[in-house]
Amino acid sequence: MPNVLKVFLENGQTKSFKYDTKTTVKDVLDSLQAKLSVMRTEHFSLVLQHRKHFHRSKLSILPLSETLSRIAARPGAEHFRILFRITFVPQDACDLAKNDPVAFEYFYTQCCNDVVQDRFSADVKPDVVLRLAALHIQQHALGNNFTGKISIKQVERECGLEHYVPESVLNSMKRKDVRKLVSHYLKVNPNLVPIGQRSLSAEQAKQQYLKIVADLPSFGVKLYNILLRVRYTRRHPKKFVVCI
């Protein structure tokens, strides 16, 4: 449909916006945040993903002043997806949960998606991924009022491990080893309960998940393309100058 922009949300939904030559990224962002009742708007951006790019996890933040018509006129625009994401991560997820529960829930969903979709695959060890998977499974169970013992085989039958564990880990490990480790971490999760509390809540499981993700080396970073030119000198053959 011409002059209609689809924005993809982290929960799998899409929102459509009609635009003209004057409609900007800021117009869409403001409208979307109002529809979703987001209060901490400073964390969110519209980002562009090129579906045909060799590295699909690469995302570009769209400038607020950019018009949608100019974006649509870019070469290869038919392969673009516009995503609504938290790009300026909060310093404290617990603070975000208190001040803006909607933004916190969106942030948690985005982090779960990023882990499962292998956005952090370069610097996440399998045991960390499976620890996250156990918290994700437990949060899902608690959120659906399930209080019994969680069976990994049942989770695999009903949902599939792919919903919680990235493909790179599933392809590099035997399924029985994945089940064994996730089961182990599910047994460890009760140790995360604060003193004086009997069991972990769904909200606490989310916060623990975000604490682990926040410690990943590439979490919240931004990459810049630069040109490095190295110049050696006779007097200092091991010394070089970097020009950006």
Boundaries of every domain in the chain: 4-86, 120-214
Q: How do residues 212-228 score in pLDDT, each as one tens digit?
A: 998 887 665 544 454 55
Q: How confident is the model at residue 21 (pLDDT cuts 50, 70, 90)?
A: very high
User: Taking the mean position of all CA atoms in its chain, how far away is CA 94?
Assistant: 17
pLDDT, tens digit (0-9, with 9 covering 90-100), for 112-122: 999 998 887 66
Backbone angles phi, psi at 93, to 5 degrees: -65, -35
**Taking Cα atoms as reference points, which of 84, 82, 58, 56 lies closest to residue 68?**
82
Inter-residue contact 32 to 16 (CB < 8 Å)? no
Global pTM reads 0.84
SS3 content of the chain, % helix, strand, coil (to 5): 45, 10, 45
- Max distance between CA atoms of the chain, in angstroms, equals 72
φ and ψ at 9, to 5 degrees? Answer: -100, 160
Tokens describing residue 72: 């649509």
Point out which residues pair with 45 in neighbouring strands: 85
Distance CA 167, CA 185 (A): 19
Q: Residue 88: in which H helix or E strand, if any?
A: none
pLDDT tens digits along 77-109: 888 999 999 999 888 888 999 999 999 999 999
- Give the model's pLDDT for residue 85: 96
Which pLDDT score is estimated for 108?
96
Q: What is the rounded distance in angstroms from the CA atom of residue 99 to the CA atom of residue 40?
A: 8
pLDDT digits (tens, 9 = 90+) for 145-190: 776 788 888 888 888 899 999 998 999 999 999 999 999 999 888 7
Residue 220 CB contacts under 8 Å (≥ 6 apart), including other chains: 89, 214
CB 4 within 8 A of CB 19: yes
pLDDT in tens, 30-48: 999 999 999 999 999 999 9
CATH architecture of 120-214: Up-down Bundle (1.20)
User: Which among 38, 32, 119, 42 is positioned nearest to 83, based on CA atoms?
Assistant: 32
Strands 44-50 vs 59-61: parallel, antiparallel or unpaired: antiparallel
Lay out the sheet containing 14-18: strands in order across: 14-18, 4-8, 80-86, 44-50, 59-61
Q: Please report which residue ranges of the chain form alpha helices under DSSP H.
A: 25-36, 68-72, 93-99, 101-116, 126-143, 152-158, 167-172, 175-188, 202-214
Beta bridge partners of 83: 8, 47
pLDDT one-digit tens code per residue, 61-76:
999 999 999 999 999 8
Q: Under CATH, what is the fold of the domain 4-86?
A: Ubiquitin-like (UB roll) (3.10.20)
Q: How far apart are CA 107 and CA 85, in angstroms?
A: 8
Q: Calculate Rg over the CA atoms of the chain.
A: 22
